[in-house]
Amino acid sequence: METLAQGVIAALKESGLTVATCESLTGGMIASTLVDVPGASQVVRGGLVTYQTDTKTLLAGVPAALIAEKGVVSAEVARAMAEGARAKLQSDIAVSATGMASPGTKDEPPAGMVFVGVSSGRASRAIPLHLQGDRASIRRQSVEAALRAILREANDWREAT
């Protein structure tokens, strides 16, 4: 039985597309899951781990003013992370994940609030998620959502051409 990651890699290969990641709460798990698949080197350009707030600006080029205005756990920042990774790593598609995997302070978003960003030459968007479970479960669910977003974008791209 084919795993989701295997399906993503196969779809990218069939479409002739490459992918990059920009990860906060998942800390590299999306890229790691993809490169666990043999042959992933043909389509995975690389990944940025932007766990701390300032690294989103330093590595992915997310405007500091956007982060200050919207917060790191926002649709706007998720989109900007994906767009930044796509530009920096020169990929066809990029995906990002930002959110809260554990309870924070009362001023922070609740645990399970996650945004997955997707950017391609066709469009950029953010997918809001409200996940349940412990820290590990929220991170795993975020990875799965990101993989599904890549698969959808690759399939949509293939159908459009």
* Rounded Cα–Cα distance for residues 67 and 57 (Å): 9
Nearest to 53 by CA among 85, 24, 82, 83: 24
pLDDT of residue 159: 73
pLDDT of residue 93: 98
Q: pLDDT per residue over 75-100, tens digit each?
A: 999 999 999 999 999 999 999 999 99
60 pLDDT more than 70: yes
Residues in contact with 25: Cβ distance below 8 Å, sequence separation at least 6, in sequence order:
51, 97, 98, 99, 100, 101, 114, 138, 139, 142
The predicted model scores a pTM of 0.95
Give, in order, the Cα–Cα distances in Å from 14 to each of 26, 82, 156: 27, 22, 12
